[in-house]
Amino acid sequence: LPLLLEATLLQLASGSHHPFYNGFYYNHVMNDKGNGHEKVDYFNGAKLVVETPRDPVYSLSGANATLPCRYRFEPHQEGKRKIRIKWSKLRDDYTKEQDVLVAIGKTYMAFGDFRGRAHLHQGGRHEASLVVSDVRLQDDGKYRCEVIDGLEDESDVVDLRLQGVVFPYQPPRGQYRLNFHEAERACREQGALIATFSQLFQAWSEGLDWCNAGWLADGTVHYPIRLPRKPCGGLHLAPGIRSYGPRHRHLHRFDVFCFSSALRGEIFYLERPAGLTLEEAKQACQDAGAEIARVGHLYSAWKFLGLDRCDAGWLADGSVRYPIAKPRANCGPPEPGVRSFGFPSKGRFGVFCYKER
């Protein structure tokens, strides 16, 4: 074995082995003249420039989104080149989260959740724009457009933001009962995802004011304050998003901020003269060819469809709520919002049902 290892190392050191292939496509990389000297052509004499828009691209759940990306050479280069294009989804710290698509010419391959939903926009020469169809909640985030020409590799980033609604959530068993993983699951169960900081900041800028701390997608804990007050950080602090910083994802417990976008279906209200128990409400929705609505569904209908109903109704988590788009007497506070009666252990109410299109 030691002799075999020594022979292998000598062969590698001799330079007689073939160049290592790492998945990239190079133009005229090796030029062996047969004299033992190899010439390596690193660049083609032109600078590769990749450009994406500075402003975010906004979309909605279920819609299509185009992430613009173009490239050029300085000075301008004529003739066809074997350009490789790669799109990746990034984390907030700009490290890679997942591969989205790779393409060479008209041949491309999409990966994971993007398979069947992502392709390149063939709008013209030097275009590398990405089209994502049937946009989903988890598509929100940063994307890197990477263009590779031989050994030249340039990239830029596009920010895809879903228009949506952030809502605070706590489970039936009360305030501050969720560790991070339970918080993620609670949002999914309500037809939503755990919110990011940028989504919470956007909601705060639109008026969200909430004094209970909640988890965000990066494992930090925050709460948004528009009107400073003593129980919420103090009277003398400026409005803003208060932060507890990163918390232990298993041991620490808080509420959670969830994010939902536009509905893929419709919400309607059912009522009976004597009202419905929670189990009767679930059955009534099933009889109507629907399911009992989740909290995320109700917030989305209130935000995007202007759903306004002064009658309280059951939701899937056992809570009773009602959406008010136009505040009025006998319908709660003077601000628009989704009102909550909490999680009544008994009582008879109407029900909000949800039906997919």
Instruction: Find the length of the chain.
Output: 357
Burial class (CB in 10 A: 0-12, 13-18, 19+), 309: buried
pLDDT of residue 19: 34
Instruction: Give the per-residue pLDDT at 80.
Output: 64
Q: Please state the domain extents for the chain.
A: 47-162, 164-260, 262-356
Point out the least confidently predicted range of 122-126, 233-237, 240-244: 122-126
CATH 2.60.40.10 fits 47-162, yes or no: yes
CATH of region 262-356: 3.10.100.10
Q: Is the pLDDT of residue 81 over 70?
A: yes
Site of tokens 């788009």: 325
Q: Would you state the pLDDT for residue 150?
A: 83
The Cα 196–Cα 186 span in angstroms is 15
Q: What's the whole-number mean pLDDT along residues 105-128?
A: 92
Please give the residue that has the higher pLDDT: either 275 or 357.
275
Q: How many whole angstroms from its chain centre is CA 50?
A: 24
Q: Average the pLDDT over each of 14-23, 61-70, 202-211, 334-343 and give the range with the smallest value.
A: 14-23
Find the DSSP H helices in 208-265.
Answer: none
Torsions phi, psi of 131, nearest 5? -110, 125
Cα distance from N-terminal residue to C-terminal residue, the chain: 66
Note the pLDDT tens digit of each residue in 129-158: 999 999 999 999 999 999 998 888 999 999
Given this chain, do its domains 47-162 and 164-260 carry the same CATH topology?
no
| Interval 238-246 mean pLDDT | 96
SS3 202: helix
59-86 CB burial, b ≥16 within 10 A, e <16: bbbeeebbbbbbbbbeeeeeeeeebbbb
- Give the chain's mean pLDDT: 88
Residue 234 has phi, psi (to 5 degrees) of 110, 155
Determine phi and psi for 49, rounding to 5 degrees. -125, 130
Per residue in 21-66, pLDDT tens? Answer: 333 333 333 333 444 444 444 455 678 999 999 999 999 999 999 9
Helices assigned H by DSSP within the chain:
2-13, 180-189, 197-205, 278-287, 295-304
State the pLDDT at residue 319.
98
Residue 170: C-alpha distances to residues 163, 267, 317 (Å): 23, 22, 10
Q: State CA 158 to chain mean position distance.
A: 13
| 215 vs 170: CA distance, rounded Å | 11
Distance separating alpha carbons of residues 25 and 196, to the nearest angstrom: 37
Distances (CA, A) of 336 to 60, 208, 256, 263: 22, 11, 21, 19
What are the residues whose beta carbons fall under 8 Å from the beta carbon of 37, sequence distance 6 or more?
none
Q: Which of 44-48, 82-86, 192-196 has the highest mean pLDDT?
A: 192-196
- What is the structure's pLDDT at 75? 82
Return the CATH class of domain 164-260.
alpha beta
State pLDDT tens for residues 277-309. Answer: 999 999 999 999 999 999 999 999 999 999 999
Q: Quick count: other Cβ atoms within 10 Å of Cβ 222?
A: 23
C-alpha span between 316 and 327 (Å, rounded): 25
pLDDT, residue 76, reads 75
**Of all residues in the chain, what percent carry a pLDDT higher than 70?**
87
* pLDDT at 10 (0 to 100): 38
Q: What percent of the chain has pLDDT over 90?
A: 76
3-state secondary structure of 216: coil
The pLDDT, as a whole number, for residue 44 is: 54
